[in-house]
Amino acid sequence: MCELLAMSANVPTDIVFSFTGLVERGGVTGPHVDGWGITFYEGKGSRTFKDAAPSSQSHIAKLIKSYPIKSEVVISHIRQANRGCVALENTHPFSRELWGRYWTYAHNGQLSDYMEKFATKRFQPVGSTDSEMAFCWILEQVVQQFGDIPPVDMQPVFEFIAQLADDVRQLGVFNLIISDGDFLMCFCSNNLSYITRCAPFGKAKLIDTDVVIDFDTETTPNDVVSVIATRPLTNNEDWYIMQPSEWKLFRLGEIIAEGCATKLSPSECQL
Amino acid sequence: MCELLAMSANVPTDIVFSFTGLVERGGVTGPHVDGWGITFYEGKGSRTFKDAAPSSQSHIAKLIKSYPIKSEVVISHIRQANRGCVALENTHPFSRELWGRYWTYAHNGQLSDYMEKFATKRFQPVGSTDSEMAFCWILEQVVQQFGDIPPVDMQPVFEFIAQLADDVRQLGVFNLIISDGDFLMCFCSNNLSYITRCAPFGKAKLIDTDVVIDFDTETTPNDVVSVIATRPLTNNEDWYIMQPSEWKLFRLGEIIAEGCATKLSPSECQL
């Protein structure tokens, strides 16, 4: 499996604190040594740092920890390979352009019997992971549903993606984070949590390494920052543990829509 | 205008030496202070480092200079903005997936009256540069010409792109570097040069900063490495200065096809 990390904020915010906890899971406190990646959006632009080396040993991860890049949307992933070998082309996050926006995606989980379902034409996988195939398939469905011009209201697009994610979930485990650089959606298959931080800010202590931050000294009273992670990253804050098939749509740090996309069993979804 | 740098090699090779010369042109020996980027292919995978800060002052450029990433295909660009503001989304190289490959592209020059010509549907620009619009238009034409499945022989695709590039050149200056991670093509509008290094290797001295390298100690006798740049990067080697409308297609360090795509005036093309 893998570990996911994402952030949505209403002001450009650095994710160094959370990333510092995450990279420990890439070889120190966790077994996810098969590469890592992080995408930062800055306006409509984005940049992705990737490495097939373990995050805990990566020169580039060291740079990210020491050089705060401020961003309103971030998606990160550390990998423990199951489908697809250890290689740069199999390293998340994956990115494609659609509607003049860069869409970025990362997946935690494993799927089975997906080859036929995920056959695509316009969006083709470059690597050999189930994850990238699912991403291409999702974008292909989005274009088929909404056409070549994006709708003015993007919320239905993400609701549609949540339904698709629940469909994919029937093939295995499919915890998903996806963004167009403005909206950030997460879908829980079995393992996803988040926290929304706003004033009054307090101190937070990482679980995976001995680092404490006082957000009060790092923020202004108007800041709103949500962090999503496979497992909570701090041990003195209340993280919300998501339920299977639950999805949350964030924009500028806040949840703007949420729901339960289950087709499996309504009793699974306990919002 | 901008400066281009690219490499094609038959073994994974680091481009630290050439990149060290290039970044000086981003604020020290040249005026290209409006961002920079570099794409490294590793197998089918690729990673792009970008910064809207001047390359000569960039933390990330420092990392690239100190941490050799070995690659068979590299494309780099430093920017002096003309069309489009200084922003990450306007920073080259640009990348899109087509046919299950990441295509990477950088442009030196400036175009006029291009808006109508470059209207596209499938590949949309994210930023506001003439360069990215031309890239999207080129890929759109390639799909229209060759369809959704790539031909077994890719050479005609690049020959077609050279013809498109010459077409675009009629709107201004269009020095182009494009790659699918396997092939690397460069098209000269008015300013492009290259060198192919192979055994016996010698010493090379950068023009832009006081660095000398002895390639003989860095290589094996079978290595073949071509470097393409807007202007020669070393002052003790024979760089080939390309002619207007001339194009070269590299693979594994060597030129595998070349030609002149001019529609303007055959006398301009003096191969």
Q: Would you say residue B170 has pLDDT above 60? A: yes
pLDDT score, position A210: 86
Q: Would you say residue B176 has pLDDT above 60? A: yes
Nearest to A200 by CA among A184, A224, A183: A224
Preceding amide of B244 cis, omega within 30 = no
Answer whether B144 touches A (CB < 8 Å): no
Residue B45 with chain A: CB contacts under 8 Å: 50, 52, 87-91, 126-127
pLDDT score, position A22: 87
Residue B49 with chain A: CB contacts under 8 Å: 47, 49
Residue B181, by phi and psi: left (phi above 0), alpha (psi -120 to 50) or beta? left
Amino acid symbol at B63: L
Q: To probe the interface with B, which of A121, A124, A133, A149 has the most B CB atoms within 10 Å?
A: A124
* Topology of domain B3-268, CATH: Glutamine Phosphoribosylpyrophosphate, subunit 1, domain 1 (3.60.20)
The length of chain B, given as a count of residues: 271
The answer to which of A187-201, B37-51, B55-69 has the lowest mean pLDDT is B55-69
The minimum CA-CA distance between A11 and chain B, rounded to whole Å, is: 17
Distance CA A11, CA A32 (A): 30
Q: Name residues 157-216 of chain B within 8 A of A (Cβ).
A: none
Answer whether B16 touches A (CB < 8 Å): no
Distance CA A92, CA A131 (A): 9
Instruction: Walk along chain A (271 residues) in steps of 10 and give the mean pLDDT of each run.
Output: 92 91 81 88 94 85 86 93 86 97 96 93 96 98 96 97 96 97 97 96 90 89 96 94 97 97 60 50
Nearest residue of chain A to residue B41 (CA atoms): A88
Is A44's CB within 8 Å of B89's CB? Answer: yes
**Tokens representing residue B64 in the block:** 């690239």
Nearest residue of chain B to residue A68 (CA atoms): B59
Residue B51 with chain A: CB contacts under 8 Å: 47
- Segments making up each domain of chain A, as ranges: 3-268
Answer whether B100 touches A (CB < 8 Å): yes
* CA atoms within 13 A of residue B168's CA, in its CB half-sphere: 31
pLDDT score, position B33: 80
Across the strands, what pairs with B50? B37
Q: Would you say residue B96 has pLDDT above 90? A: yes
* Positive or negative: CA dihedral B121, A48, B62, B195: negative
Band (pLDDT 50/70/90 cuts) for residue B218 is confident
> What does each C-alpha distance from B147 to A116, A152, A212, B160, B213 come to in angstroms?
21, 30, 55, 13, 45
Of B211 and A152, more confident:
A152
Q: How many helices (H) and strands (E) does chain B have?
A: 4, 15
Burial B18-49 (b: 16+ CB within 10 A, else e): bbbbbbbbbbebbebbbbbbbbbbbbbbbbbb
Answer whether A49 touches B (CB < 8 Å): yes
Q: Would you say residue B217 has pLDDT above 60? A: yes
> What does each C-alpha distance from A150 to A95, A157, B79, B135, B190 come to in angstroms?
18, 9, 30, 21, 38
Across the strands, what pairs with A98? A101
Burial A202-236 (b: 16+ CB within 10 A, else e): eebebebeeeebebeeebeeebbbbbbbbbbbbee
On whether the CB atoms of residues A227 and A237 are closer than 8 A, the answer is: no
The answer to which of A81-85, B191-195, B236-240 has the lowest mean pLDDT is A81-85
Helix, strand, or coil here: B99? coil
